[in-house]
Structures are given as C-alpha cells and as structure tokens.
Chain A
Amino acid sequence: MRNAIIKLLLIIAAVLLIGWANRHYDSYTLSILNNIGIFAILALSYNLINGVTGQFSLEPNGFVAIGAYFTALFLLPADAKTDMFALVDPAPLVLSMHAGFIPAVISGGIAAMFIALLLSFPVFRVRGDYLAIVTLGFGFIIRIFALNNPAYTNGAMGLNDIPSTADFLWIGITALITFVVMLHIVYSRYGRAMKAVRDDEDAATAMGINTFKIKTIAFMTSAFFEGVGGGLLASFLTTITPDQFSFLLTFQLLIIIVLGGLGSMSGTLLATILVMGSMEWLRFLDDDMVIFGWHTGAHPGMRMVVFSILLIIMMLFARKGLFGDKELPELLREKFRKKGEQ
C-alpha cells in the first residue's frame, strides 16, 4: 500500500514536471527534451527484448520506420498527399487513410506489433542468434520498400509537412507511460519468465514456461512501443525520409541500453539522458576553443571523438553498464543493507 502511494505521487510529480517544462522552456531546450523522450521510449522497449529477455535483436529501425510512416500517412490530409507525391500518384489506400492524432500514433504501434508477430514464428522456433540476422535484414527490407514504393511512401523524397501535434507533453507522458509499463512487465510473472528465458532457456522450459510464447510477447510489446515512438518522431520532426531509419538508429539505441545496463529500465532511462544530452552538451567542442591562449580551431565532429572516448571509459569502469541488470531502488537497497552489516 505504501509503495502504491509513493508510486502514484512519483507519477503525479513527473506529469507536473513534464507539463511545467513544456510551458517554460524555449523551443531549443524542448527539442532536446523531445529527442530524449522519444529515444527513451525506443530504448526502454528495445531493452525489453534485448536486455530483459536476452534475445539479441537488431530491429528498432524497422519498427520505428513502420510506426513513423503509418502515423504520418494517417495524419496527412488527402489533398496534402496528392500535392506532395511528386513521382507517382498516391495509392487509393494511402488517400483513404485519415485519423486523429492518438489513433494515428497507436495504429503505427499496432502495425509494428503485427509484423513482430509474423517475424516471431520463423525466428523463435529455433535457438541462437537468428533473431539478430533476421531483424537486421528486416530493417534493410523496410528501408528498401520505402524507397521503391513511391505510391505509398513518396520514395526517397519522404513525407513532409506532417502535422506537428507531438509536443513535449505528448512525448514526455508517452515516455513516462512506457517506463511504467515496462517496470510493471518486469515485476510480474511475465517479466520473471522473460528473465528466466535469458538466464537458462532449458531450465525455464523445465519450470513449465512456454518460451516461444514469452519471447513472442516480449518482441511484440517491444515492437508496439517502437512503432508508437516512431509515430511521435514523425509528428515531432514533421518530415521523414527512408534514410532516417538506417541501421545507425538501431546502433544508437544499442549503445544506450548497453551503457544503461542490459535489463535495467532505470539504467536505460539515465543512459538515454546522458547519451542524447551529451550529444548536445558536447557541441562546444566542435567550435573554436581557447586553451591557455592557444586556439584549437573549429573541428566539426570533435564532439563525436570525445563522446566515443567517454563511452569507452564508461564501459571500462562499468562492464555491465551503469546499473547492471538491477533497477535503481534495488541498487540503493543493496547499498544500505551492506552499510547496515558493517
């Protein structure tokens, strides 16, 4: 009961903070916060399949693309699509798609979830790293599909002028919902079964766990939130092209979840803030700097060099990521218990 009240208070505080930030920060700060929010949604859901369930997958870019395109096509009015599609006329199906913001974003999630279901049948029947290979290929297929079917996606020109409904209130609250949902999954019989599959699949089966079902559930949940994140991304950026959803996106998310600790949701959240934030905070490194009277000159890309070095140092000192596979309260409890014993 006490825990439930604390949780409720924390959620209310987070909502108020999001609302306050949305009103008081300038658009530059908000765009950074929006980026962090969207990447938090993507990284948290990616962590469910990769970290908690331990199935090495490289799928996020594909599912994010599906979510983004679905949402964008639902949000754009029919005449805007006719104007925009320069190469070929939009397909009738594309023209007939129209929905409000919430159904549009959710439809992106559901589409991604459905495709995850289809993928899981061939992939989870066998063991090993097939998931990584299949999902890697899947990401490429989606991109190539988007490039070569201009009647549906406007090809390489992408979709522009997507209504920008997604402000920090939407994105922040969705990120909060994702965080809470992920924690609720992890601390339930489903989360326990996912961890069991990660630790020892044979032993999990011997406990009566249908490992195929558990892996599929984790994969579909992950895909749903990645689709939703993609939809928010489309509305936030107002323009999407197939090249945005390259493997680089997956790679960025992989860095985040490994840094945060595979299996730790609070670690992932912290890592998202650190990685996405430092991309901005380190921007001064690109400019000309004066160190003891010596001008370094402007080196565009210097921040990426420093960023990479910081990452390497972090991984050297925290092999299992910032939080390992534990959540923040668990870590604190362990610390206090150790202090008590001394």
Chain B
Amino acid sequence: MSEPLLEVRNVTMKFGGVTAIDDLSFKVEKGQIYGLIGPNGAGKTTIFNIITGNYLPTEGQILFDGQDITGTKPHKVVDKGIARTFQNIRLFKSMTVLENVLIGFHDRIRYSYLEAILRFPRFHTYERRIRAEAMGLLEEFGIASFADTNATALSYGNQRKVEIARALATQPRLLLLDEPAAGMNPIETEDLSRIIHKIKADYDLTVLLIEHDMKFVNAMCDRVTVLDYGEKIFEGPPAEAIVDERVISAYLGEFSNA
C-alpha cells in the first residue's frame, strides 16, 4: 500500500447550528482516482472547499503529502499542488480560451511588475514559453482551434475541458473535479473519462472527484466514499457501493412495508 497523498482527518464543519460534515475521515492514495458521492446536500462540495482552504473546518485536519495544510489560504493551496474545477463552470467570461488557460500559469511566471512594464527580455521569454505550453494543453484536449474564441462561446463539454486545462496549467499533483460530467451527454461523458485517464497518466496525477453519474463513477474510480448528511456511510470499491443497502436507501429512500 502506498502512502496517502491527501488525508482528511476527523473533519467536522458546522455552519451555525447546522453540521455539514460530521467527523469525516478518508485517505486518497497517490495515483488513485477517488470518488466522493452522495445525494444533494450531503456535503461533498463543502469538503472540496475545506481542502482548497476556502473554509476553515470547525474541527479536524487536512494533510497533503504528510503536511498539515488546514487553514492555508486558497491561493497558497494551489502553490502546494492542489487544483480544482467548479460544479457550475466558472471560466473568465471576458477572456479567450487561451487567456483562460494562461491564467493557470500565473504563479509559474517569474517576471516582476517592472519587468512587465518595461518589457524586459525576461517578459518575452516567459510569455513565449507559456503560450506554447498553453497551446500544447489545448491541443491535448482537442480544443486548440478555439484558442482565440471567447471562452463562454464554447459548448458545455468544451468549456469543461477548458476548465480542466486551466487547472492543469497550475501543475497540480492532486486534481479536484466537482461534478465534471454534470450536464454532459453520454458521448461527451465518454470523451471526458478518456481524457481524465490520459492526463492522470501523463501528468502523474491523483484525482478526487465528486459525481452523481454512477455509471461514470463505476468506470472511473478506484475507490469511493459515500456521504449522506455529512456522514460517511460507505467506503470501498464503487462496484460494492451500488449494492450497499445504506447507499441505496440514502439515494432512493427506505422501502416501507406498508
């Protein structure tokens, strides 16, 4: 068994009187595709927001690569190697596809404000390099021909790809995908799972994803945690999750005998 890249340790999150996450623990191992599933309002996105530093958990810790990152500011979490996408796609709407991906390179560019204003050679070197890299990413996703198109003019599936490409540009080790297949048709979903498998191999990534589509989860994930009302009700391989009684009742409700 390899060591965990991400460990969520006894995390509790309370919003006023509401307990959104209740004493949740799980480990994501290096190279895994790990699924986080559960009905609406189970606290899946809340966990993402805690991992990325947007929320400070009431109790518990987040460990990344053995290091405690609880309470780290969101932009610093990205530096550590965690990138995310959003449930409802959040591209920069005034920018082109290429510019959106260039934003992902922000922290990897090392020219200063003055160097940018005075257009020092370093500026041109970096800009040329990241533009080539960004175009490479777009090619990998098959959307290079849209580079100069406004990002919001793309189809839903392609916007998803831009968002993932943008997250990859930050050079993450852990990629958090919040419902990547939501709103996609079966062909787009298949295309997406192929891409996720490919980038996982190419970039040596670990993936933690939230998803509702059980077929997608079954095909993608090595291991899943099922949440219901902030509590873990199942952990294990996805094939076992779909036959687990508690999981079924969480999704469909209890069968009444009446």
Contact = CB atoms under 8 A, between A and B. Distances in A.
B is bound to A: yes
Interface in B97-138: 99, 102-107, 109, 111, 113, 116-119, 123, 126-127
Nearest to A180: B117
A314 B105 CA distance: 39
Interface in B137-153: none
A208 B117 contact: no
A207 B167 CA distance: 7
A210 B126 CA distance: 20
A325 interface: yes
A208 B78 contact: yes
A188 interface: yes
B42 interface: no
Contacts of B126: 189
A189 B169 CA distance: 14
A193 B102 CA distance: 10
A203 B86 contact: yes
A200 interface: yes
A5 interface: no
B35 to A, nearest CB: 21
A193 B106 CA distance: 7
A100 to B, nearest CB: 23
Contacts of B102: 189, 192
Given A181-B117, A190-B113, A209-B106, A199 B75 contact: no
Main secondary structure of the interface of A (DSSP, over half): helix
B94 A188 contact: no
A196 B106 CA distance: 11
Interface residues of A, number: 26
Contact of B116 (A185, A206, A263): A185
A203 B94 CA distance: 13
A217 interface: yes
A195 interface: yes
B95 A195 contact: yes
Q: Which of A185, A198, A209 has the most CB of B within 10 A?
A: A209
Nearest to A202: B90
B74 interface: yes
B170 interface: yes
B117 A199 contact: no
B19 to A, nearest CB: 24
A195 B102 CA distance: 12
A188 B92 contact: no
Contacts of A207: 78, 103-104, 106, 166-167, 169-170
B84 interface: yes
Given A199-B93, A203-B90, 13 more contacts: A184-B118, A185-B113, A192-B99, A192-B103, A193-B106, A195-B94, A196-B92, A199-B95, A200-B93, A205-B74, A206-B167, A207-B103, A263-B94
Interface of A: 181, 184-185, 188-190, 192-193, 195-196, 198-200, 202-211, 217, 263, 325
